[in-house]
Structure 1
């Protein structure tokens, strides 16, 4: 397998999965510490380049709009994806974090308990609702007709239109901290939550009570792929478990830290390490092939619906392809 870089752009800052989003025909990314840039996916050409402010706490695509929540200034901005024009901005309290879009509502706030949570109209930024006081929320998730939030032992599904409570669950373990990805949707009606003590808990809209799937070795990222919940282990490697009962489905050992989230690729997946190594895996975790994006300290991989591949690295962002390695023709012995 050979990795070929199609185009690459200097960021003048560290890359990372939190500073870019992939759209239907473009990529929007934060760079130079104070700019938001839209690049054409085909060749990396700049579509637009606008001032933003400092590192974004949230960056979300919503149809033909980009929502961005920088640390400073204290503004939630809505930008036209086609032109880069500002459609509206809304002043936010200092330390506002968490950003989720559900249909025509933008939900913000609750990060570390510093601010209230609010729902804003996606069309014009008008405030639809605000909690009467600051609340504490883990990273929110748009799921099953609502916005999933929570803290401690409580998970709550809010109606994005008015902030009312649609459902509430009492979890056997307290939810993990406010900065990590906590909720992973594993279907239309089930969620796996990361809790303290490196445990996973499953809950949903059915009659079953929330259940602990198990406690695992320390991990620092979690997600869902091919019907399994994966964990990037802090000591290196990946563990994938069954979201129904927490049993191990497959694992990948690594002698160096895997930093990029596993991606769907063909009928399997891709994983990458900090030194630029990329492995193609079968659905059961077996290594099928490997290659390297040489000279790059990888932070994240991303893909698009059509199979396009992207990387964020130390100082750069780019697009790449993978192709099978050519085999020499076999010579028949006379």
Structure 2
């Protein structure tokens, strides 16, 4: 099949980049580069919109509708106006927190590798918010908290986060402002998550998909129902599966397993380029995944595949922007490709 992608632009970042240093939302693209700069770029052209100095370029970037947050490796959380780059506030003393999640007016940090407990900061002022999470051990390793707007009734929707830790077979939904648990689900095994990446994938139908242990794929429906989607016969890497309609894609080191859940049919794709998959994203009719360090490979529902693009450097993370573009960051480069013809 011919599923080639057009590379629109590529930017040299002048350092070995981390996948957490880039973020995109609401038509904005922000990345850390050149050891001490945070820049906003035009997603379609790669042209610079604004620039701000930061302590280092190995931290975490998050973009909201009107703000950009950057937590430096030195432990300073900066808040900038996304439109003009004006610094709104900075908060120090957040060393080794690493995770940054924004839910409504609350910023949640911490939980990475259990180094620091989960901490809340007010998005408007940067002030710490009081309160703890008694059901979490202060030094337990957490999956990156996933922000959601959730509620059992239309009039009872709150800004919340999903929380899961390495030692407990439980998934929690917590009100970001109050810290009160709004939901709790028992799992067969703790959520499996990577050291510094997403543990969950949100499907088009609103279901939350994740790994419980190393072989069980679970889905949580917005109405609160937890279902077992698939039990695999091999250990899977700690990467959220792709579930689209009735098809499941499981990226493995040796290839990709595609499962037609309606028919129970299974296809093993093992003739791909060598190398582990660092990231994967769903597209219309298939999945796009990294392979052999710097190749993007398209795999369709029937197991057909093709190399869609070869990028300048090793790819660590893929970020679809919801507007027909895909941003890929890795070893020293940020590259943007057009997926509008694939995303349907």
Question: TM-score, normalization: structure 1?
Answer: 0.80
Q: In structure 2, how many angstroms separate the alpha carbons of the residues matched to 1:294 and 1:209?
A: 38
Q: In structure 1, how many angstroms separate the alpha carbons of the residues matched to 2:222 and 2:337?
A: 40
Q: In structure 2, how many angstroms separate the alpha carbons of the residues matched to 1:50 and 1:277?
A: 32
What displacement does 1:126 show? 2.8
What displacement does 1:55 show? 4.7
Match of 1:181?
198
1:191-238: CA deviations, max 9, x gaps?
3332334433444565756758424333242243524553321x2322
1:18 to 17, 20, 23: 20
2:217 to 192, 200, 210: 200
Unaligned runs of 5+ in 2: 151-157
1:310 matched to 2:327: yes
1:149 matched to 2:163: yes
1:225-273: CA deviations, max 9, x gaps?
524553321x23223457x89x666553324125353334454443332
What displacement does 1:277 show? 3.2
What pairs up with 1:200-219 in 2 under 5 angstroms? 200-203=217-220, 211=228, 213-215=230-232, 216-219=234-237
Q: In structure 2, how many angstroms separate the alpha carbons of the residues matched to 1:186 and 1:303?
A: 14
- More displaced, 90-99 or 100-109? 90-99
Q: CA separation of 1:157/1:282 partners in 2, compared to 1, >3 Å: closer, same or farther? A: same
| Secondary structure in 1 matching 2:188 | coil
Q: In structure 2, how many angstroms separate the alpha carbons of the residues matched to 1:32 and 1:65?
A: 22
Give the conservation status (yes or no) of the 8 Å contact 2:312–2:333.
Answer: no
1:2-57: CA deviations, max 9, x gaps?
54433221112234532212234332112223322211123211112222233545
Q: In structure 1, how many angstroms separate the alpha carbons of the residues matched to 2:308 and 2:223?
A: 44
What pairs up with 1:273-288 in 2 under 5 angstroms? 273-287=291-305
Give the conservation status (yes or no) of the 8 Å contact 1:128–1:162.
Answer: no
Runs of 4+ more than 6 Å apart: none
Match of 2:124?
123
Give the conservation status (yes or no) of the 8 Å contact 1:8–1:316.
Answer: yes
| Secondary structure in 2 matching 1:127 | coil
Q: In structure 1, how many angstroms separate the alpha carbons of the residues matched to 2:286 and 2:80?
A: 35
Give the conservation status (yes or no) of the 8 Å contact 2:7–2:335.
Answer: yes
Question: TM-score, normalization: structure 2?
Answer: 0.78
Give the conservation status (yes or no) of the 8 Å contact 2:202–2:209.
Answer: yes
1:256 matched to 2:282: no
Q: In structure 2, how many angstroms separate the alpha carbons of the residues matched to 1:122 and 1:98?
A: 15
Q: CA separation of 1:155/1:293 partners in 2, compared to 1, >3 Å: closer, same or farther? A: same
Q: CA separation of 1:196/1:317 partners in 2, compared to 1, >3 Å: closer, same or farther? A: same
Q: CA separation of 1:163/1:188 partners in 2, compared to 1, >3 Å: closer, same or farther? A: farther
Give the conservation status (yes or no) of the 8 Å contact 2:80–2:87.
Answer: yes
| Count, aligned residues | 320
1:66 matched to 2:64: no
